Structure 1
Amino acid sequence: MVTALPALLSRDAGANMVRLRTLILVRWMAIAGQIAAILVASQVYGLLLPLGLCALAVGFSVLANLLLVGLYPENRRLSEAEAFLTLLFDLAQLAFLLVLTGGLTNPFAILLLAPVTISASMLRLRSTLLLGALAILSVSVAMVWYLPLRFADGTELVIPRLFAFGFWLSIVIGILFLGLYSRRVATEMRHMSEALLATQMALAREQKLTDLAGVVAAAAHELGTPLATIKLVSAELIDELDAQPELQEDARLIREQADRCRDILRDMGRAGKDDLHLRQAPLSAVLREAAEPHLARGKQVDFAFVPIMDGDEAQPTILRRPEIIHGLRNLVQNAVDFARSTVWVEGEWTSRRIVVRITDDGEGFPPSVIGRIGDPFVRARRSEPEAEKRPGYEGMGLGLFIAKTLLERSGAELSFANGTDPFLPPEDRPDRCGAVVEAVWDAADLVPPPSSGGLGENTRFES
């Protein structure tokens, strides 16, 4: 399930991310600013501007906004192509205004950064690169071909060539830097949002399985007595119907089907009794349950449960919360996937803290990504032997992210390390040479208060 989530969540990343109304409002703000700048420049500072052409440029933006408002609903979300064309129109309109109003002698040339920054935040890399290249082309054209700014006495506003080049260079660097920075931040936010959604889906699935198993367990408990009665009565009928073989065969069939119902309910209800009827369990039971799906995958899983200090021999009874079980299960799965032959699951405790440590004898975490373990969508190139060992693994880091997030929600502090130097030759490595994941809880976060002990009284289901 985990390895399939990234493709599902990222399939339409970058598309339909912004409403049309948002870009319309931004354009109205730009139009208001352009009109104000033109009026102040011409009326207050007495600059001679081609007002007709400037009005035409601003009028195109006004007309475009009016058409969009009239043709589409305000809550329409733009596709990738529609958003790109909208930003391209804004870039072209702004570049045309700059050519009419002094080129790079106009300080408002810095606004060419806006469309590229918006594109980097919400569009795909290809669209952003194309828009950035067009923005650089536009500012380059505006540096060479433009209508100079003239004062009322006819003199031109002239700036040194070095200053013009420096202004051009600063805008180009700004396009590159802000584009890269905005895209990096937006991508991380999008990945984090998608990963948190995957975490919520995993936790919801675990909770549903827990609830469903509990219902099955309760049904098995309630149906146990009627099935036992059916079996007893059918056995008596078998003994009494020796002279009537046909009826005796029917009685045997009834007993066999009662046994079958009992076995089915017992198998279905085993996990449910653990999950619902026992809200709390010993630390060893919780760890064994978390590792249970991976015990028969060809790797040896050894368990050890010891107190850290003398005087704390009694194993703690902890809450059996779905997020803890699912998080630990993901960690055990990761260890089993990459172990050569053995995984060690250890539980340690004192009166104040509980420690769970999962170690394997594999290659360990790659040194290049060990500092980023727990981040979602961490990609790492896999070697051929690794790909053969785990063909379905996508290397996204999403499973560890889910485990880390769920366990930290329960109060755990997680650390990731390697059991030994990964560059040592195999003959010099200890048995526990692979990855080491340690989760540490305050005992108060896991151990239920004494008043909550006991299972309570069974209640009858009412139809």
Structure 2
Amino acid sequence: MAQPDISLLTGQQRSNWIRLRTMILLRWVAICGQLVALTVAQRYYGLQLELGLCYLAVGVSVIGNLIAIFVFPENKRLTETENLLMVMFDLLQLAFLLFLTGGLHNPFALLLLGPVSISAAVLTTRSTLLVGGTAIVLVTLLGEFHLPLRTQQGFILRIPDLFVFGNWIALVIAICFFGAYSRRVTSEIHSMSDALSATQMALSREQKLTDLGGVVAAAAHELGTPLATIKLTSAELIEELDDRPELREDAALIREQADRCRDILRDMGRAGKDDLHLRQAPLMTVVQEAAEPHTHRGKYVHYTHDPDAGDEIDQPAILRKPEIIHGLRNLVQNAVDFAAANVWIEAHWTADTITLRIMDDGRGFPPQLLGRIGDPFVRRRKTRDDRQQRPEYEGMGLGLFIAKTLLERSGAELTFANGADPFARENTELPHVGAIVEVSWPRVKIDAREGENAVAQGQNEPITV
């Protein structure tokens, strides 16, 4: 089964999700803070500031906000370029205010980290590097070029050069660290969001397929009566048209086609609008249903189960949940993709647990990625052997993430391992076992006969025509 296309999710620029109204609100908060800081510095601490230029810098921000409010609609979403320009404007405006108020001698210099963090959260990597580089250049210039802070008595407020240098180092490191940290965390959040959206799409598709099975069953039930009527009427016409061979042939054809429709409906589904068998099935039946789309791709799929468990305890009937079927199908697809010739699906059950083990005779999971299997969008550099064996394959780990997420939702625990060292020479005496995926459920989670998830039993009447 093809994986859901999430290009519409991952291809969108995250900056396009930011509303202009949000940026305007943040700028109003910054403007209020700047005005309060200027007022307190002048009136309560008696600092001699270039108030004309300071208020000019704040006024430019006010004018920019007013223009944005009256020119653009409130629900406008900013493009990547527009967001970059707004962040750069705020960065330059703040740097100009710091130039007028002591440069790095001003403790408010740490506010330069704000635009960098915002850009790392909403902009692309290129734009973030541009904003971060600009911030580092501005911090460097502010360390050397700035207007001094003077008191009413004419004293210059400054800190020792060693502390200025320390502030410069601290700000440069903070810009790099907070930018990289914010970018990394935001990227992880976005990747997980995209992957979960893809998982939901996959589950929705599987649910539609399951619902389609119920529709087919209902159609088979409802069409049984009219088909029986057609068959009965055509049989009577055949008896009454013995003297008219051409019409008798038409009546016979109608009866033949009615029989054909009956046979098709019998193959398509079982009787009943709410077929109980659509909600539960024996374990191995569900496993074979999940693996069926990948059993004709040139690899041999072996189904086995523990004979001792089968003798002691009847094969369990489990819930036919869409997440179970789709999750197992993805695991089987991955095994078939990388198997040399064989895939083994082993089942084992006890009174407390149900376990499935999916193995293949391929090269196994890359050892360096074993700990990251199940994370979305995991890429690795392809080796020469990989390019020769599967030049068209570009895996991102999304299929395994979807499988892991869906199966864990049903209560399962997944374990990924290799059956042999992929770097060791193949043992010719034993079948080479590559990747191994073990899926284990507490039996009460998926048992359809006992416990809180038990499906009510009933009799399904066959179609009779």
What is the TM-score of this pair, normalised by structure 1?
Answer: 0.92
Q: Structure 2: how far apart are the matches of 1:240 and 1:381?
A: 78
Q: How does 1:56-455 map to 2 (within 5 A)?
A: 56-231=56-231, 233-234=233-234, 237-238=237-238, 241=241, 243-269=243-269, 277-306=277-306, 312-383=312-383, 386=386, 393-427=393-427, 430-450=430-450, 452-455=455-458
Aligned pair count reads 460
Residue aligned with 1:452, SS: coil
> CA separation of 1:311/1:458 partners in 2, compared to 1, >3 Å: closer, same or farther?
closer
2-structure distance, mates of 1:403, 1:207: 15
Over 3 Å counting, the alpha-carbon distance change for 1:151 and 1:412 in structure 2 is same
Contact 1:354 1:442 (C-alpha < 8 Å) held by counterparts = yes
Runs of 4+ in 1 over 6 A off after TM superposition: 270-275, 457-460
Q: Would you say 1:29 and 2:29 are equivalent positions?
A: yes
Counterpart of 2:395, as a letter, is G
Mapped to 2, the partners of 1:445 and 1:391 lie a distance apart of 41
> In the aligned structure 1, how far is the partner of 2:307 from the partner of 2:95?
72
Shift of 1:234: 3.7
Partner Cα separation in structure 1 for residue 271 and residue 206 of structure 2: 12
Q: Per the alignment, do residues 134 and 246 of structure 1 end up closer, same or farther by CA in structure 2, a change over 3 Å counting?
A: same
Structure 2 stretches lacking a partner, 5+ long: none
Q: TM-score, normalised by structure 2?
A: 0.91
Deviation at 1:235?
5.3
**Offset of residue 390 of structure 1:** 5.1
Letter of the 1:148 counterpart: P
Contact residue 281 and residue 318 of structure 2 kept, 8 A: yes
Alpha-carbon distance change, 421 to 366 in structure 1, aligned in 2, over 3 angstroms:
same
What residue identity is the alignment partner of 2:133? A
Note if contact 1:16-1:80 (Cα within 8 Å) is conserved in structure 2. yes
CA distance in 2, matches of 1:3, 1:116: 36
Runs of at least 5 residues in structure 1 that lack an aligned partner in the other structure: none
Contact residue 276 and residue 460 of structure 2 kept, 8 A? no
Q: Does the 8 Å CA contact 1:213/1:271 hold for their aligned counterparts?
A: no
Over the aligned positions, Cα root-mean-square deviation in angstroms equals 2.7
* Structure 1 range deviating more: 77-86 or 111-120: 77-86
* 1: CA distance, partners of 2:184 / 2:72: 31
State the secondary structure of the residue aligned to 1:159. Answer: coil
Q: Which amino acid aligns with 1:210?
A: T
Secondary structure at 1:15 match in 2: helix
User: Does the 8 A contact of 1:132 with 1:175 survive in 2?
Assistant: yes
Amino acid at match of 2:401: F
* 1:351 partner amino acid: A
Further displaced range: 374-383 or 179-188: 374-383
User: Cα gap change, 1:49/1:202 in structure 2, threshold over 3 Å: closer, same or farther?
Assistant: same
Deviations 1:187-222 (A, max 9, x none): 111111111111111111111111112111221133
What is the CA-CA distance between 1:307 and the residue it aligns to?
5.9
Distance verdict in 2 for CA 1:3–1:313, change over 3 Å: closer
Q: 1:20 to 1:267 in 2, by over 3 A?
A: farther
Report the residue type matching 1:159 in the other structure. I
**Cα distance in structure 2, aligned partners of 1:430 and 1:88:** 64
**Alignment-derived partner of residue 20 in structure 1:** 20
Distance 1:276 1:134, change over 3 A: farther
Indicate the SS of the match to 2:367.
coil
Q: Secondary structure at the match of 2:224?
A: helix
Higher deviation after alignment, 154-163 or 354-363: 154-163
CA distance in 2, matches of 1:305, 1:346: 5
Identity %, equivalent residues: 61
Task: Show CA shifts across 1:257-299 (max 9, x none).
Answer: 3244335434543799998643211111111111111111111
